Structure 1
């Protein structure tokens, strides 16, 4: 059974020593449900050597949880994913994927119902982390995120008192300094930083280093090597600089995303429908680079 994780001294740990989670995020499971299955998760674990999967539940987009989506089907998909991951010895991030809604308070009632149900279902699971708001932006200020977090965290903690909770930060989860200046008053909380290497460069890395060195628990729970739009070319130099910081600071990181969408960020080639045993031709270049980097991470962790 996987150890329940704890945040100690600004680091994610197993209660004794630091732990680094790394793996893939699904795209929205309303549109790509096929990737939430044992075949995919086993391939990510056995072939790519990853130890974590992020399951993205979009909120306001078409067929999202709060915009005409099948709520019960999405919750059942999440539960199935958590069970598969537990069987394989993997952790899962349950992601309430705020994006177009900007301010997480917009659907706070729906979020409260979702996290109340999810945390009750997973009360005895040691492999679940909760991401309560993916990318607040626009009107999603730190004040509004704080208000939302102060409502949502007690809902989760009622059922899962020791769960690690990841909180998004303003400006599409880039302004982590807001959390450093005014952190939430809860234990076992981490703060999101997202980067897309061709857009987010040294200024964001400097911010990350300053916050991490000051003891802020940071989780890079979404990244890719292209532009923030998910499109465009890979920036190799900036990607290498980001990986250097991740390794030097021992940070957890999750790549966006499991899909064969035409955008650069979808790691599978558009004509790839395979759910395992992916060869180089089945992957976009971003997928090949990230796969190899995750395998390097796994080897490093094994040799510690």
Structure 2
């Protein structure tokens, strides 16, 4: 059985010793529900050697939870994914994927209903991490994110008092210095940094290093090696620079994304419809590189 996760002195631990989580994020589960299955999760654990999966629930996009999506079906998919991950001894991030809504307060009522329900369902589960806000942007200022968190986190804590919470930061989860300057009053919280290596380079890495060295608990819960659009070429030099920083700072990280999307960031080839047993020929270059990263991270975890 997995231990409950706890932030101690700015570092993620399993309550006893440091731990690094790493794995893949699903694409929007309304669009790619097929990957929410034991077959895929088991392959991610065994073949990709990962220990965490992120379940992405879009809020304001087509078929999003707060727009025209089937709320009951989406909740069932989230619960299915959490239960599969628990069976496989994997941690799982429940991602409330704020994006085009910009300000998480836009759908505060729906968020309160969702996290209230989910935290009741998962109250006894040690493997669940609540990502309450993916990528606030534009009108999604740190003041708005803090206002939102002060309503959502107490709901989660009522049912799951020890659960780890992750929150996005402004400017598509790049402005983590806002959290360093004005952290939440809540404990057991981590702050998101997202990067796409061909777009986000030395300036963002320097910000990350400064914040982590100052004691801010940071979780890189979305990254890839291409452009921020999810498209374009991989920047190999910048990717390696990011890997070095992740390794040196011992940070958890989640790759976007588990899909055969035609974009660079979808780790599977567009014509790959397999749900497991993926060969190197089934992977895009991004998938091949990330898989090798995760194998190295797994070796390092085993050596702790």
Aligned to 1:262, what secondary structure does the other structure show? coil
Distance 2:236 2:194 in 1: 17
Matched residues in 2 for 1:158 and 1:65: separation?
Answer: 23
Give 1:88 deviation, angstroms.
Answer: 0.6
The residue aligned with 1:240 is: 240
Match in the other structure for 2:53: 53
Matching residue of 1:74: 74
Distance 1:7 1:235 in 2: 32
* Aligned alpha-carbon RMSD (Å): 0.4
Q: Secondary structure at the match of 2:63?
A: coil
Offset of 1:284 from its aligned partner?
A: 0.5
TM-fit CA distance, 1:198: 0.2
Instruction: Write the distance in 1 (CA, Å) between the matches of 2:202 and 2:158.
Output: 40
The alpha-carbon deviation at position 300 of structure 1 amounts to 1.1
Q: How many residues align?
A: 304
Name the SS of the counterpart of 2:269 in structure 1. coil
TM-aligned CA deviation for residue 15 of structure 1: 1.0
Q: How far apart in 2 are the matches of 1:292 and 1:277? A: 16
Q: Does 1:105 align with 2:100?
A: no
1:34-63 superposed Cα distances (whole Å, 9 cap, x missing partner): 001000000000100000000000000010
1:134-283 mapped onto 2 (5 Å cutoff): 134-283=134-283
Match of 2:13 in 1: 13
Deviation string, structure 1 residues 97-136 (Cα, Å, up to 9, x no partner) = 0000000000010000000000000000000000000000
Alignment match, 2:286: 286
CA distance in 2 between counterparts of 1:112 and 1:20 reads 29
Counterpart in the other structure of 2:127: 127
How big is each residue's C-alpha offset from its partner over 1:258-302, in whole Å with a ceiling of 9 and x where there is no partner?
Answer: 111110000000000001110011010000100111011101111
How far did 1:194 drift? 0.1
TM-score, normalising length: structure 1: 1.00
Secondary structure, aligned partner of 1:171:
helix
Runs of 4+, deviation exceeding 6 Å: none
Normalising by structure 2, we get a TM-score of 1.00
Rounded Cα–Cα distance in structure 1 between residues aligned with 2:4 and 2:72: 27
State the shift of 1:303 in Å. 1.5
Distance 1:283 1:72 in 2: 33
Tell me how far apart the structure 2 counterparts of residues 125 and 76 of structure 1 sit (CA, whole Å): 16
Gaps of at least 5 residues in structure 2 are none
DSSP 3-state at the match of 2:226: coil
3-state SS, counterpart of residue 203 of structure 1: helix
Q: Write the distance in 2 (CA, Å) between the matches of 1:73 and 1:129.
A: 20
> Alpha-carbon deviation of 1:16?
1.3
Q: Any stretches of 5+ residues in structure 1 without a counterpart?
A: none
* Matches of 1:274 and 1:15, distance apart in 2: 37
Mapped to 2, the partners of 1:279 and 1:41 lie a distance apart of 16
Could you tell me which residue of structure 2 aligns to residue 65 of structure 1?
Answer: 65
